[in-house]
Structure 1
Amino acid sequence: MTIKNKIVWLTGASSGIGKSLAILLSRQNTKLILSSRSESTLNEVKALCLFPENVKILPLDLEDYENLSEKVNTAKMFFGKIDILINNGGISQRSLAKDTGVLVDKRLMDINYLGTVALTKAILPHFIDENSGHFVVTTSIVGKIGTPLRSTYAATKHALHGFFDSLRAEVFNNNIKVTLICPGFVATDVSKNALTGDGSPQNTMDKATKNGIAPDRFAKLMLKAIEAEKEEVYIAGVKEKLGVYAKRFFPSLLSKMIRKLSVT
């Protein structure tokens, strides 16, 4: 599958992976719908796109998941249909489970899981009617491996894998594809914006995140996976990838390794 001439709706498009991916997609002669909470920041990304006249802005808040059906109706009106929904929006966490308020747990689940699922369900009838469509979901390596300071974040990503693996089987006969993208460390502001135990942002960048894959390079690898219609792909450093396979084949060994990670 080539992404050229496709109509792509991208959430989490205002920064990081989403911003780099939006700019890259604009060079593929796609028609884009860019979404995040900040309309002004989305317009800044639009200005960086190669053909801004083919880019539409649709602000939305995944936390407001009960009202996302209206956003789907608006999105469909921009270009008449949607070929690919890239569920890239979300927020991370940096706090011990014992120090994390349950309302923070709820917010993480509302944004990362329920918001993504609600948007997916809202557009699903359109894909079924078209007998085509492609859901792309940015999850995480911690969607496969839970690590310290990310208990609820890991839970939200594990939940996405469960939902979309099930959905893939359900919509196979409707010619609808599902691709799960699992990033390792990527050099974005994800750790700065991560929620701490009281719900406030961490406001500092983790060393591992700072040394992660550059967003532009990540976007190129992500695009290749989308065009290849991969079911699941790990875009990460060697250590993160090894962790996934260790979890599968040597779970006790991986548990010992994870226990040695810093939790402060």
Structure 2
Amino acid sequence: MHRIENKVIWITGASSGIGEALVYALVKKNCKLIISARNEVALQRVRENCEQKEHIQILPLDLGDFKVMDQKVATALSFFNTIDILINNAGVSQRSLIINTKFEVYKKLININYLGTIALTKALLPYFIKMNKGHFVTVTSLMGKFGSPYRSGYCGAKHALHGFFDVLRMEHEKNGIDVTLICPGFVQTNIAKNALTADGSQQQTDDVATQNGLPVAVFTKKMLRAIEQKKFEAYIGQGETKGVYLKRFFPKLLHRVVLRSQVK
């Protein structure tokens, strides 16, 4: 197992939810952190909640602004002179039926969840190649392995991440680069409240499945263990993780199970 202590780690989507929980867990492991999100005020709040503030640097980032990624990577590298791990955690979910969803909503989901993540990853990749080491950790979803109603665009973007990062791993294993895909199930965060609806507005309400999901601190502990083990993929949740195996071996059964679940 490769210990995560004392690493320099860049976390996107660090202003809330899983990203915020990662900050609190990693700073206790004496890691030096670069934390990014669009909301700089929220990032300041997260930093103020930590005792070792000098180990945390704030770098505001909008994944939809593809053109600034090279500049953002240069700035990130200037903080601690290196980066060991990039945790691609930022993203947005969806709660709307296909028939009702505006095409612009699908473009936004792809731009943030897929293309923005790819743009940032590609900008950092030359540095990892030069150093002959590095670890890309990308938070996808169980929805990157199978689908569920009301999440068509989100599922599409998360499936795409799996295709891209599987190939990145194949192409750059020779450069000492590791890739771990983290697939959360239901976790107690604001993902449902922030999810995009058919017209692109936020849902602003929680759902029962999310409320009954894993506590974010429990999820984070399991995620960090998967990173240290350098797993290719980790499915972290409760009973919903069984869907991965049903999809592989009994896809028609999964279809019926998901429809019966009435999860929205």
Aligned to 1:148: 149
Contact 1:149–1:263 (Cα < 8 Å) also in 2: no
CA displacement at 1:263 relative to structure 2? 7.3
CA displacement at 1:260 relative to structure 2? 2.9
1:24 aligns with 2:21: no
Map Cα deviations across residues 144-186 of structure 1 (whole Å, 9 max, x no partner). Answer: 0110000000000000000000100000000100000000000
Contact 1:104–1:197 (Cα < 8 Å) also in 2: yes
CA displacement at 1:47 relative to structure 2? 1.2
Aligned to 1:87: 88
SS at match of 2:183: strand
**Unmatched segments (≥5 aa) in structure 1:** none
Give 1:163-178 correspondences, 5 Å limit: 163-178=164-179
Aligned length: 263
TM-score, with length taken from structure 1: 0.98
Give 1:166-245 correspondences, 5 Å limit: 166-238=167-239, 240-245=240-245
CA distance in 2, matches of 1:18, 1:184: 15
Corresponding letter in the other structure for 2:177 = I
**Unmatched segments (≥5 aa) in structure 2:** none
Give 1:23-42 correspondences, 5 Å limit: 23-42=24-43
Corresponding letter in the other structure for 1:41 = A
Map Cα deviations across residues 95-117 of structure 1 (whole Å, 9 max, x no partner). Answer: 00111100000000000000000
Corresponding letter in the other structure for 2:14 = A
1:73 aligns with 2:77: no
CA distance in 2, matches of 1:110, 1:64: 9
Aligned to 1:246: 246
Corresponding letter in the other structure for 1:191 = A
SS at match of 1:153: helix
Map Cα deviations across residues 32-62 of structure 1 (whole Å, 9 max, x no partner). Answer: 0000001111011111223110100000000
SS at match of 1:192: coil
1:257 aligns with 2:252: no
CA-atom RMSD, angstroms? 1.0
CA displacement at 1:74 relative to structure 2? 0.4
Q: Indicate the larger mover: 102-111 or 254-263.
A: 254-263
TM-score, with length taken from structure 2: 0.98
CA displacement at 1:194 relative to structure 2? 0.1
Q: 1:263 to 1:187 in 2, by over 3 A?
A: closer
Contact 1:43–1:57 (Cα < 8 Å) also in 2: yes
